Amino acid sequence: FYKPKRPHCKECERSSARMRMKRYNATIRGKVMQALNDSRKAVRKIEAETGREIKDDLTFLDVAFVLGYPECSYCGKYVPEDERTLDHITPMRYGADNTFANITMACFKCNRSKNDYPALSYLHKKQDKYGIQQLIDRIACRERISYDDAYMILVEHAVNYFEEKMEDK
């Protein structure tokens, strides 16, 4: 027992806590909090590895808004709520920040196949011109910048990605 006044043993208490967390994480609030906490953990990890400070101003409402999109940003298919994932358009490891302008909703399959690849390059590889336009437009609207400026940001991040990959070889 944890304390004399507790009615359950440690194993029962842990089992009960696991069940509560499973129910909580199945709710949209739980999914949003989990995605937000995962992104913050990734920020700390990447900052420690690279020594670069990452801007981290993502909020609960930002993540809730993005996970509220019904369609995957990369394949355009409808995604059920329990299969929606948060994806960084440009990976934080390659110069991007943990901000509202840099996140999107992706299905698990697309998020996994994109991996640590910049979205612009990923969509070019898929030859998805409509997806590229949608992505650039979404960034331009969120950042309140022109379409051309949003495109140049994505190009710059893609260039950074490939330069770092060349340095690693």
pLDDT per position as a tens digit, 74-118? 888 999 988 999 999 989 988 889 999 899 999 999 999 998 889
Residue 1 predicted with pLDDT over 90: no
pLDDT per position as a tens digit, 39-81? 999 999 999 998 999 999 999 999 999 999 999 988 889 999 8
Give pLDDT, residue 5. Answer: 73
Identify the three-state secondary structure at position 106.
strand
Q: pLDDT confidence of 3, banded at 50, 70, 90?
A: low
Task: Report the mean per-residue pLDDT for the chain.
Answer: 90
Residue with tokens 């948060």: 86
Long-range contacts: 131-134, Cβ < 8 Å, 24+?
131/73, 131/74, 131/76, 134/73
